[in-house]
Amino acid sequence: MQKRLQSQYQNLIYQPSSISRQQKTQILNYLSTLHPIWEMRYSKNNPPPADQQQRRLLRPVYWLGNWQFACLNYYHPPKGIYHRCVSAEPYPEVLRTLVDSIERLIKEKFDPKDIPRGWKLNTCLINFYGDQITPEGRRVDCARVGEHKDFEPGPVASVSFGDRALFQFVESRGTQSQSHVVLQQWLEDSSLQVFGGEKFKKKLFHRVQRVEKKGTPNFALNVSDFETRRINFTFRYVPDEHILPFYKLPTDNQEDTLEYMEKLALHSDFFKKHLQLLKF
Ligand SMILES: O=C(O)CCC(=O)C(=O)O
């Protein structure tokens, strides 16, 4: 039997019912104003390596603070720090307040040596988990994330809504099925998880193995051909100097991400304005 994550682990926090009903309502209302997009993993100027194929991500996403387009390869220090993080919309007030309190909690509970200088949770990835609905009306459950590390420096905080997800820290052994599960935790509706430090952030990989189909979350979201049963926010840190407005990206990177910027601009004044800056 796997051990359950406990708060006695250093640099690991799990708090069920961490988000109040009022905060949850405000956050879900805000979410209903967003138009998440589906991204492709690769692009014209960043084609798949020989052993990979072009593919769509398993789920729609939305980023706040800065957008790490998949085809720009995500933020990955020490080498992959430039031209990967594109300025994006700021947090709405309800998330700003929540993030301020999470930052305080982390500074209180975490070992200071695991909090980099200047660290703040200025980046948020919103993941939508659920069933894809095919043109023939078939449901395809794609509510999972393969093992990976988050390379942004310092602690990462994760807030979940909807059906619970089986989150695992694993030691990678080549293929996903061979990996050894070190710790696992069901991430429940309105929970907060934070992890950082040598073991949980740097050494171990993490993954979402599956999302239960228990509740009827009935989220009002602008995601077509998809039924969302879980939403997860992961808050991370990217140094400000590595975040660029779209118009300052190299032209190859602009070319690869223009169609996403145009899609986002359809529903966002922020992205509209940032596209217009290109013309000046
Ligand atoms: O959905 C989750 O709980 C984790 C998401 C995750 O691993 C990620 O966004 O990097």
**Extents of the domains making up the chain:** 12-144+152-163+187-197+216-279
Name the percent of the chain in helix, strand, coil, to the closest 5. 25, 30, 45
Closest CA to 159 of 35, 40, 28, 37: 28
Geometric angle at alpha carbon 149, from 145 and 152, rounded to 5°: 120
pLDDT attached to residue 10 = 86
Cα(144) to centroid of ligand 1, in Å?
9
Ligand 1 pocket by Cβ (under 6 Å): 125, 127, 145, 150, 158, 165, 167, 187, 206, 208, 232, 234
Indicate the SS3 state at residue 113: helix
Closest CA to 10 of 258, 197, 217, 177: 197
Domain 12-144+152-163+187-197+216-279 in CATH 2.60.120: yes
Cα(276) to centroid of ligand 1, in Å?
32
CA distance 216 to 6: 28
Under 8 Å between Cβ of 135 and 193: no
Nearest-atom number in ligand 1 for the CA of 158 is 3
Closest CA to 121 of 259, 265, 240: 240
Residue bearing the CA closest to ligand 1, atom 8: 234
Residue bearing the CA closest to ligand 1, atom 1: 232
Residue in the structure block whose two tokens are 């594109």? 86
Cα(86) to centroid of ligand 1, in Å?
20
pLDDT attached to residue 7 = 56
Residue in the structure block whose two tokens are 């509740």? 215
pLDDT attached to residue 9 = 82
Q: Which amino acid is at 106?
A: I
Under 8 Å between Cβ of 165 and 142: no
Under 8 Å between Cβ of 155 and 115: yes
Nearest-atom number in ligand 1 for the CA of 193 is 3
Residue bearing the CA closest to ligand 1, atom 9: 234
Residue ranges in the chain whose pLDDT is less than 70? 1-8, 280
- Best of 67, 161, 167 for a ligand 1 pocket test (most atoms within 8 Å of beta carbon): 167
* pLDDT tens string 19-35: 999 999 999 999 999 99
Closest CA to 66 of 251, 235, 243, 266: 243
Geometric angle at alpha carbon 271, from 268 and 277, rounded to 5°: 140
Cα(267) to centroid of ligand 1, in Å?
25
Nearest-atom number in ligand 1 for the CA of 150 is 10
CA distance 270 to 108: 34
